[in-house]
Amino acid sequence: MIDALIKEIDIRKDYLSKENIDSIYFGGGTPSIIDASDINKILSKIHNTHTVSENAEITIEANPEDLSEKYLKEIKDIGINRISIGIQCLFDDILLFINRRHSAEKAIEAIHLAKEVGFDTISIDLIYGIPGLDSGKWKDTLKKIEDLPVSHLSAYCLSIDTNTVFEHRLRKGDFIPLSDEECEEQYDILVAWAKSNNFNHYEISNFCKDNLYSRHNTAYWQQKEYLGIGPGAHSYNKISRQWNCSNNKKYLDYLNRGLLSVETEELSDNDRFNEYIMTSLRTIWGIDMNIVNNEFGIKHYNHIIEGIKAHKEHIIQKADSISLTEEGMFVSNDIISDLFI
């Protein structure tokens, strides 16, 4: 697989324009199970193929149970300068319910270890809306985070996807999902906690201190070009989207023959407009109406002005921008879909 990833980097070296690479992200799945030496092979290939900015953000997603002091030192030595740790929750019974292998103690230990090794930018993932995680436990989880050296957090409401273990358990009656009202209450608790602890709520599910936004995710939301490498990875060059097959064997078989197994979607003007609405309205910066007028025209501009009338209580409208209130962010899907063409 490592050899295949390196081959794909080589084959697709001209996909992006010649701008410097500002962000490299090892994520999706569990990259922290890969030896640091293999990660270094991939990084070296990227550096040899592209021009990487001197201060590029290089992130790895990690599970707490994978993070020993030795491993953390190894990945820091090869250039990883940001780590995103999937702690999800700080109660062992909840972690067991969502099939996580680490304990709350191990999660806290991993965060402290990362700081001691020298990682200045530490992000964590949290999940709320989990059956059994009442608002009291959710408040306690957030309270414990106050004492941890965390500069960024992503918090997502639990969703039950089709054909997953959770869906099968739900059908069997193993648990009762939280109501929308309970999930909204936990979201409100999160937002209030973030504000009182100097975390800037800069995107629906993302918060940071000291303006330490995730450069990588912010690039997605700002519609910048990106290249995805590996099975199931997506790429975007402002003209089209591409995605690799998600089947590992098929992916390897193609790369072994020097070929790519990709699908491509050419984007129409309306596609690009809808994607701009979807990504920009998720952030505190919102929709730049000058961009809408210049890139899409007056028809699309007027469409937005008319569409937001039904959502006035959730809209912040300024001279050149439209963004969502805190309450609007929680119901953003409905607002965004109403603005689509």
pLDDT (0 to 100) of residue 90: 96
Q: Percentages helix, strand, coil for the chain, rounded to the nearest 5?
A: 45, 20, 35
pLDDT (0 to 100) of residue 19: 81
Distance between CA atoms of 236 and 319, rounded to whole angstroms?
30
Residue 18 has pLDDT above 90, yes or no: no
Q: What is the distance of C-alpha 27 from the center of its chain?
A: 9
129 Rama class: left (phi>0) / alpha (psi -120 to 50) / beta: left
Which stretches of the chain are assigned E, i.e. beta strand? 21-26, 52-62, 82-88, 121-128, 152-157, 200-203, 206-208, 234-236, 240-244, 262-266, 287-288, 315-317, 321-324
Residue 177 lies in a domain: yes
Residues 119 and 106 placed together within one structural domain of the fold: yes
Distance between CA atoms of 285 and 200, rounded to whole angstroms?
12
Are residues 308 and 318 in contact, defined by beta-carbon separation less than 8 angstroms? no
12 falls in which pLDDT band (50, 70, 90)? very high
Q: Which own/partner pairs from 188-197 qualify as long-range (CB within 8 Å, at least 24 positions apart)?
A: 188/330, 189/135, 189/138, 189/139, 189/142, 190/128, 190/138, 190/142, 190/155, 191/326, 193/139, 193/142, 197/146
Domain that holds residue 334: 269-339
Distance between CA atoms of 139 and 129, rounded to whole angstroms?
12
Residue of 102, 83, 84, 82 lying closest to 92 (CA atoms): 102
169 falls in which pLDDT band (50, 70, 90)? confident
Distance between CA atoms of 32 and 67, rounded to whole angstroms?
8
Antiparallel, parallel or unpaired: β 21-26 and 287-288: unpaired
Residues 110 and 132 placed together within one structural domain of the fold: yes
Residue 48 lies in a domain: yes
Residue 110 lies in a domain: yes
What six digits make up the tokens of 29?
Answer: 């799945």
**pTM score, whole prediction:** 0.93
Distance between CA atoms of 210 and 95, rounded to whole angstroms?
30
Q: How many CB atoms lie within 10 A of CB 339?
A: 21
141 Rama class: left (phi>0) / alpha (psi -120 to 50) / beta: alpha
Distance between CA atoms of 203 and 309, rounded to whole angstroms?
22
Residues 96 and 32 placed together within one structural domain of the fold: yes
Q: Which residues are within 8 A (CB) of 18 and not within 5 positions of it... i.e. 6 or more apart?
A: 51
Residue 229 lies in a domain: no
Residues 291 and 217 placed together within one structural domain of the fold: no
Chosen domain end from 186, 221, 256: 221
Diameter of the chain measured on Cα atoms:
57
Chosen domain end from 221, 251, 285: 221
217-275: pLDDT as tens digits: 999 999 899 999 999 999 999 889 999 999 999 999 999 999 999 999 999 999 999 99
Residues 210 and 311 placed together within one structural domain of the fold: no
Are residues 95 and 103 in contact, defined by beta-carbon separation less than 8 angstroms? yes
Residues 259 and 184 placed together within one structural domain of the fold: no
pLDDT (0 to 100) of residue 209: 97
Distance between CA atoms of 118 and 318, rounded to whole angstroms?
41
Residues 186 and 251 placed together within one structural domain of the fold: no
82-128: pLDDT as tens digits: 999 999 999 999 999 999 999 999 999 999 999 999 999 999 999 99
Distance between CA atoms of 110 and 124, rounded to whole angstroms?
11
Residue 90 lies in a domain: yes
CATH code of the domain containing 128? 3.80.30.20
Residues 288 and 258 placed together within one structural domain of the fold: no
pLDDT (0 to 100) of residue 91: 97
- Alpha carbon separation from 130 to 102, 135, 175, 185, 284 (Å, rounded): 17, 10, 10, 13, 26
Residue 226 lies in a domain: no
Residues 143 and 111 placed together within one structural domain of the fold: yes
**Distance between start and end Cα atoms, the chain:** 40
Residues 103 and 24 placed together within one structural domain of the fold: yes
Count of domains for the chain: 3
pLDDT (0 to 100) of residue 252: 97
Residues 153 and 215 placed together within one structural domain of the fold: yes
Chosen domain end from 213, 244, 266: 266
Residue 227 lies in a domain: no
Are residues 214 and 222 in contact, defined by beta-carbon separation less than 8 angstroms? no
Residue 41 lies in a domain: yes
Are residues 24 and 5 in contact, defined by beta-carbon separation less than 8 angstroms? no
163 falls in which pLDDT band (50, 70, 90)? confident
Residues 273 and 259 placed together within one structural domain of the fold: no
Q: In terms of C-beta density within 10 A (0-12 exposed, 13-18 middle, 19 or more buried), how is residue 51 classed?
A: exposed
CATH code of the domain containing 328? 1.10.10.920
